[in-house]
Amino acid sequence: MRRLIPVTLLLALSSVCPRAYGQQQFNAAGAINYCAGQAVKTLKVIPADSANLPRNIDNGKTNWRFIKYRDWCSGFWPGVLWYLYEGTGKAQFKTEAEKFTKELTPLSYTPGFDHDLGFQVHNSFGNGYRLTGNAAYKPVILRAADSLATLFNPRVGTILSWPSMVKIKGWPHNTIIDNMINLEMLFWASKNGGGKKLYDMAVKHAETTMHNHFRADYSAYHVVVYDTLTGKKIKGVTHQGYADNSMWARGQSWAIYGFTMCYRETKRAAFLNFAQKVADVYLKRLPADGIPYWDFDAPDIPNAPKDASAACVTASALLELSTFVHDKVKAKTYRHKAEQMLAMLSLAKYQSRDVNDAFLLHSTGHKPNGTEIDASIIYADYYYLEALLRLKRLQQGQSLYARLTHPVK
């Protein structure tokens, strides 16, 4: 059955994404400037102690919860600042990005304790190196990649995601779908002095995930547990989703993003084809406004919390995927869907505006654990801004990977 989009939603979308309805295109530059204004507000309230990296603002509250550098979300705030420097050319954002990036340096000297080093180090030092060429950043990224590589189990063919869960949950070797994103740092390192072994490791992880992490309809499990002796899959389960057989929204978005990135880095057709399959099941099941509920199978839909962060990750991924897909009609569809998502996220319903200093409202972190439900979360802001920058490049007829240049202000 076709789902009808309410007239009120069409009118709202037409005001921010009118190109879809025959008018001018969505103003990505304006949304980037909005993010810059919100970030300046946050910079004014950063505490002086070591817990100074914004992570989330809970529903009903107005103040950021700040974290230290070891938290898995620590790289998103420096990454936001680097993206704002890229998008606005303002020297203030470069200065602040350098400051907060430097705080994460100890991560590269710490033995591998978690899979999230890519989120932490590649988003901070990686973006900083890309935009400035600062030679001091390169060895930090390479050391972090080597540390991440120590968690790779060659018998299984994936990186161990949560070492702590080996004892807590009795999972001999667990790999979560989120881990696809951390492969980007391994690919980068392999091209910048780390050697082919890191490339091979990233490819093997992606291939193993592709074969074991998905159901027949291409929806993803959150966690796959493996036997460390045989390397065989034991089971697929959830941790942050509704149920073991449900489609957790952000998990599916990580899959879309991760396999798209893997195609970019390898040009292997299997990854491109798979990225489309995991994207298509996500798009097929979206509610009318294009922003998913936290889990596509949550029993209390339409009263379930939304997850704007999943929409941000997906929008960014679809913009990149649209540049790779050979079918022009399908490529156009992916870009159009991404623009619609960004347009909706840029309405008052989803932007934080005067509610708090974040960019967006209505993300859900860990619903089963009762944390970060219907909240503002830093990784939603990061991928929202990334998607806006990507869209701006496409609107200007640039390569998706061209740096947005401005005179430094």
Confidence of residue 403 (pLDDT cuts 50, 70, 90): confident
* Residue 6 predicted with pLDDT over 90: no
Over residues 352-358, the mean pLDDT reads 97
User: Tens digit of pLDDT for each residue in 42-79?
Assistant: 999 999 989 999 999 999 999 999 999 999 999 999 99
Alpha carbons 79 and 98: distance in angstroms, whole number: 10
Cα–Cα distances in Å, from 158 out to 45, 233, 237? 40, 11, 16
Asked if pLDDT for residue 117 goes beyond 80, the answer is: yes
Q: By C-alpha distance, which of 132, 162, 262, 164 is closest to 207?
A: 262
Give the model's confidence band at 266: pLDDT under 50 very low, under 70 low, under 90 confident, else very high: very high
Q: How many of the other CB atoms lie within 10 Å of CB of 17?
A: 23
Q: Residue 407 has what pLDDT?
A: 61
For residue 1, is pLDDT > 60? no
Its pTM stands at 0.94
Domain-wise residue ranges, the chain? 16-45+280-409
Q: Which residues contact 252 (CB under 8 A, 6 or more apart)?
A: 177, 219, 220, 278, 281, 282, 296, 310, 314
pLDDT reading at 29 higher than 80: yes
What's the whole-number mean pLDDT along residues 214-236?
97
The residue-averaged pLDDT of 271-283 equals 98
C-alpha triplet 243, 245, 249: angle, nearest 5°: 70
Name the pLDDT band for 404 (thresholds 50, 70, 90): confident
Catalytic: 49?
Answer: no
The amino acid occupying position 22 is G
Confidence label for 405 from pLDDT (cuts 50, 70 and 90): low
**Which pair of tokens denotes residue 291?**
């922003």
Least confident of 75-89, 112-126, 323-337, 353-367: 112-126
Q: Which of 58, 114, 116, 374 is catalytic?
A: 116
Among candidate residues 58, 114, 146, 178, the one labeled active-site is: 178
Residue-level pLDDT at 12: 42
Q: Which two tokens stand for residue 396?
A: 């200007």
Of the candidates 26, 25, 21, 1, the one whose C-alpha atom is nearest the C-alpha of residue 11 is 21
User: Within 10 Å of residue 32's Cβ, how many Cβ atoms?
Assistant: 21
Residue 228, phi then psi, degrees to nearest 5: -75, -20
- Look up 178 and say whether it is catalytic: yes
Query: What rounded mean pLDDT belongs to the chain?
Result: 93
Neighbours of 103 (CB within 10 A): 17
Per-residue pLDDT at 24: 61
Coil, helix or strand for 244? coil
- pLDDT tens per residue, range 292-348: 999 999 999 999 999 999 999 999 999 999 999 999 999 999 999 999 999 999 999
The reported pLDDT for the residue numbered 14 is 42
Residue range 16-45+280-409 forms a domain whose CATH class is mainly alpha
Q: How far apart are CA 126 and CA 78, in angstroms?
A: 10
Query: Is 9 a residue whose pLDDT tops 70?
Result: no
pLDDT of residue 155: 98
pLDDT band at 406 (very low <50, low <70, confident <90, very high): low
CB of 311 within 8 A of CB of 296? no
Q: How far is CA 362 from CA 19, 59, 239, 274, 402, in A?
A: 26, 8, 20, 29, 31
Q: Does the pLDDT at position 16 exceed 70?
A: no
